[in-house]
Structure 1
Amino acid sequence: MALSIRDYSNFQWFDFVNPKKSELRQCFEDHGGNSHLMDDILEVGHLPKIEKIKSSTFLLFRAVSHKISGERSTIAQLTNKIGFFYNESVLITAHQKEFDFLNQIQNKESLNSPEELMLNILEAMLETYIEPAQWLSDKMDSFEAEIFLKDHKKMSIESLYFDKAKARACKKLILLTQSVMNQIQVNPTHLTKLQDLKETASSLFFQFDEALDDAQALLNTYMSLTSQKTNEVMKLLTIFSAFFLPLTFIVGVYGMNFELMPELKWNYGYFVIWGLMVFMSLVIYFWFKRKRFI
């Protein structure tokens, strides 16, 4: 467990990294928190939430903390959370993983309130979604090019599945984050900052929503092309069957071992039967051609 304490002119910032429950409890109790909030912070997969406790506010947000490439596709695999507890005199943050942007924010001197600091951290957390959103958009473009401009059979359907799951997870998180942000009440001097963050979240939501829609459309297109290929194979087999079924019938008839078959004594019977089979093949061919089956 690591604890960083930063003293500002009007407040203190306690930042816990991978905290122990006993130490976190003491800090919370000293500033008006309770054990229920600690349980939310320590729960690994907890989703964004907001809770008001008298004059204090408790928040949970999640930031992207792992590379989005690869097979990571669930919320717990892609992101880690930061818990916020703040009032007029203190901000307490707790998280399991180190975040580089927190170190950068700690170096800022011109922070006048816990609320302002919280908004700065939230802004940095939202920025972690920008690169994944662009990455997913580029991946969807790449998949589209493979389907329509290259050989769609070489496209990895497994990769598309994982990317679709990533887009769905990020979209869900941004939607929950928007819901929490809409419930945050801030000082009038910070309303503009909060509105900017809401607009950023809204933009990210539409990017992930578009990536999710594209993934679903590409999946449907891939399945359609695969089905079309199967239909073409069945069509080809049907055409071959149409040619060979009547020929097989003729060969079957004249392959019977009966002595009293009248055509067996014909001098040119062999050539007549060949002519009949060629004629029937031509009739079938031109009929298919007329019906535009081939």
Structure 2
Amino acid sequence: MRKHNKKIGLPPGSVVFTGNKKVDNVHTHYLAFNETYCNDQIIESHSKTILKKPSIEKNDWYDIRGMHDTDLISQVGQIFEIHPLIQEAIVDIHQRPKFEEYENGIFITLASISFNSTLLEIKKEHVAIYFNTGFMLTVQETDSDLFAYVRKRINTGKGKIRLRGADYLAYALIDSIVDNYYIVLDEIEEVIEDLEKRIIETQQVQDKNKIHQLKKELMSMRKSVSPLREAISKFSKTENAFIEHSSQLYVRDLYEHTIQVMDTVDATREILNGLQDLFISEMSLKMNQVMQLLTLISVIFIPLTFLAGIYGMNFVNIPELKYENGYFVLLTVMVVIFIGMLLYFKRKKWL
């Protein structure tokens, strides 16, 4: 039974985790920064030493690793006055990517994906982002740092992030996940190229299964990218006070990236359809070649069988039976017929 069935009958805003526990030691990666200041540290899961109201003088980014810790999510929600519906959506991994505006902040959900080239599986991780002026909260299912590159840019002072607010940081975080979509698609294309080479050289049943598996995984990826495109479209058009007008220019560029990802996913699925047709064509060609060879063998042996059948009959009055060299003459005739038919087939390019 799926865990989201536990929510049946519960009131709206109930914080119930619907996934599987993927982190043993829940912790929060805290990063505070402005143009001249940067504080990067790891804090214990339920420590209140840093969980405090954000300051307009800096940006506070709390990155929680361990979405299953609903007590921590509720605690953070109370401290930062996060709407109960947002807290509920944060821990519901079955939420589709979306963009929602609330009185105290903006909430975005999306899926980070990775590709296992051995198992040909796309793995998804539910990611929740909530921000307002000077405050950013991100929640991840696993202990992996999906935003390592963004964090590095902040620590090294590269780019515009240190000069901008939480809205630009939200853009940068989403952009890093969308950029990873391109990496996943590149990895899938490499697998497809290898499949194409193998199909042309030799056809195996497992190759057909791999094509079907990749098509299924791409469909799963499309289900994540399509609603994300809609969410980013809303992000780029909103007039919310928490989002500066200058940041929307970058968000519109991000929207174009999601369209490119969608187009690439669709194009890749079309390539797989063509690869499936190629597999069937190669199998049919191989079967036709086998049938052609068997047909030629049958045609060659039909006259030989005919001659052998005539002289194998048990009639007494067959003049050739008493001929001293009749056996050798018959063999010679059979050999001549055999060679003659081979030469004829070769001339016709049937061999």
Query: Does residue 1:238 correspond to 2:299, yes or no?
Result: no
Once residues 102 and 264 of structure 2 are traced to their aligned partners in structure 1, the CA distance between those partners, rounded to angstroms, is 34
Query: Does residue 1:104 correspond to 2:152, yes or no?
Result: yes
Equivalence for 1:87 = 132
Once residues 68 and 204 of structure 1 are traced to their aligned partners in structure 2, the CA distance between those partners, rounded to angstroms, is 19
Supply the AA of the counterpart residue of 2:27: A
Query: Does residue 1:16 correspond to 2:61, yes or no?
Result: no
> How far has the Cα of 1:222 moved from its partner?
2.8
Equivalence for 1:187 = 244
> How far has the Cα of 1:192 moved from its partner?
0.8
Give the conservation status (yes or no) of the 8 Å contact 2:120–2:214.
no
Give the conservation status (yes or no) of the 8 Å contact 1:73–1:166.
yes
Structure with higher RCO (Cα < 8 A, 6+ apart) = 1
Once residues 33 and 89 of structure 1 are traced to their aligned partners in structure 2, the CA distance between those partners, rounded to angstroms, is 17
Give the conservation status (yes or no) of the 8 Å contact 1:116–1:190.
yes
Supply the AA of the counterpart residue of 1:181: I
> How far has the Cα of 1:203 moved from its partner?
2.7
Give the conservation status (yes or no) of the 8 Å contact 2:27–2:64.
yes
Q: Structure 1: any 5+ residue segments left out of the alignment?
A: none
Could you say what secondary structure the match of 1:13 adopts? strand
How many equivalent residue pairs? 287
Structure 1 vs Structure 2 CA RMSD = 3.4
Q: Structure 2: any 5+ residue segments left out of the alignment?
A: 1-25, 33-53
Once residues 152 and 221 of structure 2 are traced to their aligned partners in structure 1, the CA distance between those partners, rounded to angstroms, is 25
Equivalent of 2:172 in 107, 116, 120: 120
Once residues 98 and 337 of structure 2 are traced to their aligned partners in structure 1, the CA distance between those partners, rounded to angstroms, is 76
| Structure whose residues are more often helix by fraction | 1
Could you say what secondary structure the match of 2:112 adopts? strand
TM-score, length basis structure 1? 0.79
Equivalence for 2:40 = none
> How far has the Cα of 1:176 moved from its partner?
2.8
Cα distance, 1:14–1:241 mapped onto 2, change above 3 Å: same
> How far has the Cα of 1:219 moved from its partner?
3.1
Give the conservation status (yes or no) of the 8 Å contact 1:136–1:167.
no
CA-to-aligned-CA distance 1:133-172 (integer Å, 9 cap, x gap): 3333344444445555xx3458972555555555444344
Query: Does residue 1:197 correspond to 2:254, yes or no?
Result: yes
Once residues 173 and 238 of structure 1 are traced to their aligned partners in structure 2, the CA distance between those partners, rounded to angstroms, is 52
Could you say what secondary structure the match of 2:128 adopts? strand
Query: Does residue 1:247 correspond to 2:304, yes or no?
Result: yes
Supply the AA of the counterpart residue of 1:118: A
Supply the AA of the counterpart residue of 2:152: Q
> How far has the Cα of 1:269 moved from its partner?
3.8
Equivalent of 2:189 in 137, 141, 148: 137
Once residues 189 and 347 of structure 2 are traced to their aligned partners in structure 1, the CA distance between those partners, rounded to angstroms, is 46
Equivalence for 1:225 = 282
CA-to-aligned-CA distance 1:55-76 (integer Å, 9 cap, x gap): 5332111223x454221413xx
Cα distance, 1:271–1:202 mapped onto 2, change above 3 Å: same
Q: Spell out the pairing of 1:12-51 with structure 2 (5 A cutoff).
A: 12-19=60-67, 20-29=69-78, 30-34=80-84, 36-51=85-100
Could you say what secondary structure the match of 1:99 adopts? coil
- Higher mean alpha-carbon deviation, 253-262 vs 231-240, is at 253-262
> How far has the Cα of 1:26 moved from its partner?
3.2
Once residues 318 and 225 of structure 2 are traced to their aligned partners in structure 1, the CA distance between those partners, rounded to angstroms, is 83
Give the conservation status (yes or no) of the 8 Å contact 1:73–1:165.
no
Cα distance, 1:112–1:282 mapped onto 2, change above 3 Å: closer
Once residues 175 and 51 of structure 1 are traced to their aligned partners in structure 2, the CA distance between those partners, rounded to angstroms, is 16
CA-to-aligned-CA distance 1:110-133 (integer Å, 9 cap, x gap): 254332221121112112223223
TM-score, length basis structure 2? 0.68
CA-to-aligned-CA distance 1:220-248 (integer Å, 9 cap, x gap): 22331222112101100100001112321
Could you say what secondary structure the match of 1:31 adopts? coil
Once residues 166 and 85 of structure 1 are traced to their aligned partners in structure 2, the CA distance between those partners, rounded to angstroms, is 29
Q: Spell out the pairing of 1:151-166 with structure 2 (5 A cutoff).
A: 151-153=201-203, 157=207, 162-166=213-217
Query: Does residue 1:178 correspond to 2:219, yes or no?
Result: no
Once residues 292 and 88 of structure 2 are traced to their aligned partners in structure 1, the CA distance between those partners, rounded to angstroms, is 62
Once residues 10 and 250 of structure 1 are traced to their aligned partners in structure 2, the CA distance between those partners, rounded to angstroms, is 101
- How many percent identity over aligned positions? 21
